[in-house]
Each structure stands twice: as structure tokens, then as C-alpha cells.
Structure 1
Amino acid sequence: MPDQDDEVPAWQRKTEGESRIGATLAVLTIVGVQVAPLKALRQQPVWLLPALEILLLAGLVVANPYRLNREEPWLRRGGLLLTGLLSLATAIAAGRLVFELTHESIDNPAELLASGGAVWLTNVVVFGLWYWEFDRGGPAARAHARKPLPDFLFVQMQSPELAEKEWEPQFFDYLYLSFTNATAFSPTDVMPMSRWAKAMMMVQSAISLVLVILVIARAINILQPVS
């Protein structure tokens, strides 16, 4: 007689949990952008937020180094705090960039593109982390199948016959969701189901749209020949 678990998709039953590697690399990418030598985005003091983020990340990795399946309130709060710090740093950088653009302080096209691209990239990664942290209660809760109803409906959930038996959403899936939302300014193949998911996607699309418009407008102004 077949095991009942074999008939249930992996995302609906208890699993060993996903690897920590993807989310850790995402955090390190944002920290790397924060300390990059871009004057328009540099915060003061330069190393304060990156140092706090690395310390918090190190604590989370030591406490749960391999598979994200350990359900502890303090681990959950630590993960949300880390994402909050990354979001704060990104918001400050975005605010500084908007200020520089609106006051026409950036006259170097290379610096403009690098600064705009850096903020856009961190915006994508940060929202990917938020989607990953909140969908069905976060990675640990998903590993234990605590919540049956998804906040994001992936194609593999709608058509399980087209996916591997052990498929379940992992960090890269949420990063892809964030990337497509930031480029298309709307859902593509991943549908938000809960109201908070729809609200967050709206906010991300609005931020991305404003950044793109400002950077393009400033670039046209810089590159336009003086008559």
C-alpha cells in the first residue's frame, strides 16, 4: 500500500527544510552593496548597519547552520530583525539617491547608473527576503507545514504534475517573484493570494517605478547635448 505522504505535494507536508545558503548569500550581497564606494549612497557612519547585519546573520547561522527547520521564537524574531535592518539601509540609500537626483547632484553617467542599479538590486533582494520570511509563516513554518493556505500561488502548486515530487518553494523562487514584480510592475506567473502579499507587491512596484523614472529622467538630462 503506497505511503500517504507520497500522494501529498512536498509543500503541503513536513519536510527537512530548505538550505540556508540562498538567503545567506542574498544578505551578503546587500551588505556588499552597502559598503560599495558609491558616494551617493554612502551612509554615516559607514560600517554601523553592515556590522550589525553581519553580527546578526552570524548568530542566526551558528544557531541554525544547515536546514531552516528549527522553530524557535527568538530565531524567528532574529530573522525578521535582520530583514528589517536590511530594509532600513535600503530605504536610506533610496532616499539619498532620490535627493541627489532631484537636486541634480549627480553629473557622472557611470555613477548615476551604478547608484541607481545598486538601489534597484537591493530593493529586489530585500523584498524577496520579505516574501520568503512571510509566506505561510516563514521557512521553518513551511518546513513543518503549519499553514496549508499559500500567500503566493506558484505554478508548481497549480500543476503539480509538471513539477518534481519533492518540489517546494525556496528562497530563489521568492527572489524570482521579486525580480519579475520589480521589472513588470505586476504579478507574472506567481499570484499573490493574501492581502498582505498584494500590498507588499504594490509597494515594491511603486518603489521600482519611481526609481526607474527618476534615473532615466536624470540620465536624459545629463546626456542631452548643451545647445
Structure 2
Amino acid sequence: MDTAAGNDPGAENHDAAVERDARAEHRWPAVVALAVALILYALLPSDILSVPLRFTMVGLAIVMLVPVVLLNPHRLRRQTTWSRWLSVGQAVVLVVANQVALVQLIFLLISSGTKDGPSLLVAAVQVWVTNVIAFALVYWEIDRGGPVTRRHDARTELPSADYRFAQDEDHDAIDEVAARSSARIDWTPSFVDYLYESATNSMAFSPGAAMPLSPRIKGLMLVQAFGGFVMLALVIAHAVGQLGG
């Protein structure tokens, strides 16, 4: 006896798999951003970090990246305990390593006077961009359980949110705005959203489109904004000193 297509378990499972695949976030925006950060970090002047230290950190980041890319080469469909630890650990390692570079850069900006002015200003840009990417990766990895959990688990099963995005509360706005809301289209943030939040926090020293909710996110944003503010103040002072010199 023929089975109606609508009641075919195989067809239903296939449709569910296709839907899960369509919801899965692309891997490569985060990988490209990480590659940019690692290149900038590797090209820092030796006065800030020694060559062995820089390339050890870059090598460690690559070693941690390879297994998680092999697990999800194109879209983030699967997650294991070890892949979760590697993904979060990689982002944290990059943040910590860049904070070391930031502290050393601040020391050089304070103590070098007009010496090596252009190279220090270029290094400041490298550290700042790397910081934006590193914190974006951390925010992306920890909010609501990470990119795999956010896209595949039911909202009732998600961990508490670290950020409140505008889309999370736009369902009762006018139609053209509500059309993009989480309630209407089951929207969830992607890496670009966290990159924007990180960049805004580094430039304006305040939240962008999303409001921080959890103490851990507020603490991370405070560390990021404070470092960016100190570096910006010293870079401006150093640039003025270069012009005056």
C-alpha cells in the first residue's frame, strides 16, 4: 500500500534535516576574522612581543582551530564537549594574548617619547583590531550557549541570554520592523552581530544595538572598553607629541 508523502517518516526526517541545515550558521565569517587577527598579531613589532612568543600563540590558535573546522567545515551543525571547550578556549586565549600585547604597547607609548612613533601607531591599530575580533569571538561563543546551541535548540531550552538584541523585542513594532523580529522569524544573532557589538564597545565605550544582561558580559565589555580607552588616549597623546616634535 502506498504511503502518502505527507505521512512518510523518511520525508519528514529529510525535511527536518534540511531545515536544521538551513538554520546552521556559516563557519567562515568567524574563521576569516580569526585569520585577520592572527596575521595582525604575528606582524606586531618585536619591541612589543618577541617572535617566538607571537608565533607560539598563533600556532596554538591554529592547532585549536583545525579540529573544530573538521567537525563543522562549512556550517555549524554539530557540537561536542571537546569542540565546545576548544572553541571557547581559542577565543579566550586570543583575548588574553592580545591583552599582554596591549599592556606592553601602553608601556612603550608611555616610555618611548618620540622614538619609533610611526611604528608604534601602526602597532596600536593592529592591537586594537585584534582586540575587536578577539572579544567578538568570545561574545559569539558564550551568548546563549554558543552558535550551535542558539540555532538548533528550542528557545525554551536555551541558556539565559547574555545580550538582549533589538530583534528580541521588536515583535510589536510596525510591520516592516516586526518582520525581522525573533518572534516572527525565529531570528538569532550571528557572528557579524557580535563583531558589531565589539567594535561599537571599542569605539564608543558603550553598548551598540544590544544591551548586556549578564555579569560576565558586563565584565568582559568593561575590560574591553577600558583597554580601548587607555590605548586611544595614549595614542592621541603620542601622535600630538610626534607633531610637536
User: Structure 2 length normalisation: TM-score?
Assistant: 0.80
Q: Which residue of 2 aligns with 1:203?
A: 223
Q: Which residue of 1 aligns with 2:168?
A: 157
1:132–1:171: 8 Å Cα contact kept in structure 2? yes
Identify which range, 195-204 or 174-183, moves more after superposition: 195-204
Higher relative contact order (CA 8 A, sep 6+): 1
RMSD (Å) for aligned C-alpha atoms: 2.1
- Superposed displacement of residue 181, structure 1: 0.8
Determine which of 15, 34, 37 is the counterpart of 2:41.
Answer: 34
Q: Which residue of 1 aligns with 2:8?
A: none
Which stretches in structure 1 are left out of the alignment for 5+ residues?
1-13
Identify which range, 72-81 or 60-69, moves more after superposition: 60-69
Which stretches in structure 2 are left out of the alignment for 5+ residues?
1-19, 172-177
Q: Distance in 2 between matches of 1:205 and 1:103?
A: 23
Structure 1 position 49 matched with structure 2 position 52: no
Q: Which residue of 1 aligns with 2:89?
A: 81
2:44–2:126: 8 Å Cα contact kept in structure 1? no
Secondary structure of 1:47's partner? helix
Q: Distance in 2 between matches of 1:162 and 1:211?
A: 40
Q: Which residue of 2 aligns with 1:193?
A: 213
Aligned length: 213
Determine which of 144, 147, 157 is the counterpart of 1:136.
Answer: 144
Deviations 1:125-174 (A, max 9, x none): 11101110110111111122331642111111121414173532100100
- Superposed displacement of residue 43, structure 1: 2.7
Q: Distance in 1 between matches of 2:92 and 2:160?
A: 25
Q: Distance in 2 between matches of 1:194 and 1:180?
A: 18
Structure 1 position 127 matched with structure 2 position 147: no
1:35–1:42: 8 Å Cα contact kept in structure 2? no
Q: Distance in 2 between matches of 1:105 and 1:29?
A: 30
Q: Distance in 2 between matches of 1:156 and 1:216?
A: 37
Query: % of aligned pairs identical?
Result: 34
Q: Which residue of 2 aligns with 1:22?
A: 29
Q: Distance in 2 between matches of 1:52 and 1:187?
A: 31
Q: Distance in 1 between matches of 2:191 and 2:118?
A: 31
Structure with the bigger percentage of helix: 2
Secondary structure of 2:23's partner? coil
Q: Which has the larger radius of gyration?
A: 2
Identify which range, 31-40 or 174-183, moves more after superposition: 31-40
Q: Distance in 2 between matches of 1:106 and 1:93?
A: 20
Q: Which residue of 2 aligns with 1:218?
A: 238
1:180–1:187: 8 Å Cα contact kept in structure 2? yes
- Superposed displacement of residue 16, structure 1: 3.1
1:93–1:119: 8 Å Cα contact kept in structure 2? yes
Q: Which residue of 1 aligns with 2:16?
A: none
Q: Distance in 1 between matches of 2:226 and 2:44?
A: 27
Q: Distance in 2 between matches of 1:179 and 1:170?
A: 15
Q: Which residue of 2 aligns with 1:111?
A: 119
Deviations 1:64-107 (A, max 9, x none): 21221312100001112211221232122112211211211662
Q: Which residue of 1 aligns with 2:175?
A: none
Determine which of 172, 188, 191 is the counterpart of 1:168.
Answer: 188
